[in-house]
Amino acid sequence: MAMADCLELAGTYGIAPARTPILFAGGTAALSHMIGAVEDDPELARADLAAAALGPSDAVICVSASGRTPYTLVVAEGAQAAGASVIGIANVVGSPLLERADIAIALETGAELVSGSTRMAAGSAQKIALNMISTQIGLLLGHVHDGYMVNLTADNTKLRARATGMVAAIAGTPPEVAARALDLADGAVKPAVLIATGASPELAQDLLAASGGHLAAALDRLKLKLEAAKAQSI
Which domains does the chain carry?
A: 2-140 (3.40.50.10490), 144-233 (1.10.8.1080)
Residue 35: predicted pLDDT: 66
- Residue 27, pLDDT score: 76
pLDDT digits (tens, 9 = 90+) for 7-36: 888 888 888 888 998 998 877 677 777 666
pLDDT for res 156:
84
Annotated active-site residue 8? The verdict is: yes
- The predicted pLDDT at position 58 comes to 97
pLDDT < 70 stretches in the chain: 28, 34-36, 234
Query: What is the rounded CA–CA span in Å between residue 233 and residue 211?
Result: 27
* CA 137 to mean position of chain CA atoms: 6
Among 93, 91, 95, 92, residue whose Cα is nearest residue 76 = 95
Residue 77 designated active-site = no
Q: What is the pLDDT of residue 63?
A: 95
Catalytic residue among 39, 43, 108, 227: 39
CA distances from 216 to 75, 141, 145, 146 (A): 38, 12, 7, 9
- What does the pLDDT read at residue 199? 96
Count of beta carbons in the 10 Å neighbourhood of residue 180: 17
- Pick the catalytic residue from 8, 108, 176, 227: 8
Residue 151's pLDDT is: 92
User: What is residue 184's predicted lDDT score, i.e. its pLDDT?
Assistant: 96
Q: Compute CA distances 178 → 61, 119, 228, whole Å.
A: 38, 43, 24
